[in-house]
A = this chain, B = another copy of it.
Amino acid sequence: MGLVVQKYGGSSVADAEGIKRVAKRIVDAKKNGHQVVVVVSAMGDTTDELIDLAGQVSPIPAGREFDMLLTAGERISMALLAMAIKNLGHEAQSFTGSQAGVITDSVHNKARIIDVTPGRIRTSIDEGNIAIVAGFQGVSQEGKNITTLGRGGSDTTAVALAAALDAEVCEIYTDVDGVFTADPRVVKKARKIDWISFEDMLELASSGSKVLLHRCVEYARRYNIPIHVRSSFSGLQGTWVSNSNEAHSEQGDRKVEQAIISGVAHDTSEAKITVVGVPDKPGEAAAIFRAIADAEVNIDMVVQNVSAASTGLTDISFTLPKAEGRKAIDALEKTRSAIGFDSLRYDDQIAKISLVGAGMKTNPGVTATFFEALSDAGVNIELISTSEIRISVVTRADDVNEAVRAVHTAFGLDSDTDEAVVYGGTGR
């Protein structure tokens, strides 16, 4: 039995009862003969409460001190978890990100991990302890200041530690039973995925699936660390995310058939901006996206239609996070005369629906089936973009639930029963 890294989100440790339940699960893994390293998020709403406090003393809390503040959250949960484990008769030690050797760059509030030097963790587990590590936080290489990795950073902490410690697996415990073929809150017949490749998981994560963050999966793929996403409430086998789909079941070795389609993701957090009447000549699109980039706005889908021959003008549409809509519009307005477009249209009543699966590379009918399913459901397609293993469309926000269900059924993803269960809130 080797080393296991387990990560528990805020909803799993929301109160004393949750902490005690998680402690039992950790001790079980230890009793099974594993060395166990646990990464834990702040309890329930702690982070939001701290952000609220910060807002009361300063309208623009950010940077170094904001990170110092937020990292108090994991400090509380990890110490309590260590106490609860000791109370079950096992030895545990908690470590801050800094003590655990999580070294980051100096970009406060959204730092990137640049190295992990887990010497103290290795010593602690070799002495027989269970090591509890604060998720979401690190220490900057320059200046030795406390940093945070941004929302979802605890998952990345777990995968990075698993890589540095050469763990067998990184178990991400959450409030659902695993990764589903669609959002179980929308599709009652969504099925839990037993195994999914890193590549498909990356596409799902960037298409609106919230179970794992893109950054975390990217890190796991780079260091080839299998991730096991599972529920801290049910104890069932969850979803394995890895390069190979062999030998990942706790029930023994078995090979799961790779599905043509892994799942259907949707995302209602984006808005669409259309730049109307752009002169169709070289450099115009570049000027538009340079203005957007200079405003530090991240864009997602981009579509440019063929220009009308009569006018020589074209429209360029792109999607972006709603939260950055204002910034993008302002940046574009400033360049209107230089670029010479007619007008801007802003639309935040859109949804993106994505079909993900490596199988579509070798199954030519996928796109047709996808569009037919939407058409049969009476859903209009506004934008289309594709990658090798993903097709995404933009529709009206009102249509999203019906569209996801229709596509899910059309690709034979529906389970025979309503199996999906959601246990709690959402972690970070």
Contact = CB atoms under 8 A, between A and B. Distances in A.
A242 interface: no
Contacts of A53: 16, 76, 80
Interface in A59-107: 59-61, 64-66, 68-69, 71-73, 75-76, 78-84, 86-87, 92-94, 99
A50 interface: yes
A53 B82 CA distance: 13
Interface in A16-32: 16, 19-20, 23
Contact of A80 (B54, B60, B144): B54
A87 B56 CA distance: 11
A417 interface: no
A269 B56 CA distance: 39
A60 B89 CA distance: 12
Contact of A79 (B65, B84, B92): B65
A394 B22 CA distance: 52
Contacts of A64: 93
Given A65-B94, A92-B65, A75 B71 contact: yes
A352 B363 CA distance: 90
Interface string A375-409: 00000000000000000000000000000000000
Nearest to A93: B64
A42 B172 CA distance: 33
A236 interface: no
B75 A58 contact: no
A354 B73 CA distance: 44
B68 A86 contact: no
A57 interface: yes
A57 B92 contact: no
B58 A69 contact: no
A99 B73 CA distance: 19
A37 to B, nearest CB: 16
A56 B16 contact: yes
A80 to B, nearest CB: 5
B68 A79 contact: yes
B83 A78 contact: no
Contact of A69 (B20, B23, B50, B75): B75
Contact of A84 (B16, B57, B72, B76): B57
Contacts of A54: 79-80, 83
Nearest to A15: B56
B78 A68 contact: yes
A88 B139 CA distance: 27
Among A50, A54, A65, A69, chain B packs the most CB atoms within 10 A around the CB of: A65
Nearest to A49: B76
Nearest to A94: B68
18 contacts: A16-B53, A16-B56, A19-B57, A50-B76, A57-B81, A57-B87, A58-B87, A64-B93, A65-B79, A65-B83, A65-B86, A65-B92, A65-B93, A69-B75, A69-B76, A69-B79, A69-B83, A72-B72
Interface of A: 16, 19-20, 23, 50, 53-54, 56-61, 64-66, 68-69, 71-73, 75-76, 78-84, 86-87, 92-94, 99, 144
Sorted nearest first, the 8 A-B pairs with minimum C-beta distance are A69-B79, A16-B56, A68-B79, A58-B87, A72-B75, A58-B83, A72-B72, A57-B84
